[in-house]
């Protein structure tokens, strides 16, 4: 497990998440808008689960897949990660 040791910011979590999704989708990172829904980005359930696994490994935050149903965006993922890190 490679949990990030520095205190992440919204910008760093969003940047990393965009890079992760871009890599999973094999698209340029510039094409990933963090406020766009996963459906519109082309993120399917397998991609979403892969992202959640990467988040747990990097940040030590376990996001249940159902947490993405209400707001399936990278902005929401960033908020979830930061909220859970702040609660520690």
The pLDDT of residue 67: 85
Average pLDDT over residues 39-44: 95
More confident position, 7 or 14? 14
Which class would CATH give 10-86? mainly alpha
pTM reported for the whole predicted model: 0.87
Contacts of 45 (CB under 8 A, 6+ apart): 65
Residue 57 CA neighbour count, 13 Å, CB half: 11
What residues does each domain of the chain span?
10-86
Is the CB of residue 12 less than 8 Å from the CB of residue 84?
no
């Amino acid at each position: 497990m490679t949990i990030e040791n520095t205190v992440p910011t919204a910008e760093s979590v969003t940047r990393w998440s965009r890079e992760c999704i871009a890599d999973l989708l094999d698209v340029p990172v510039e094409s990933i808008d963090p406020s766009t829904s996963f459906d519109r980005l082309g993120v399917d359930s397998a991609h979403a689960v892969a992202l959640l696994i990467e988040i747990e490994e990097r940040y030590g935050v376990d996001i249940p897949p159902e947490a993405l149903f209400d707001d399936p965006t990278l902005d929401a993922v960033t908020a979830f990660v930061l909220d859970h890190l702040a609660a520690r």
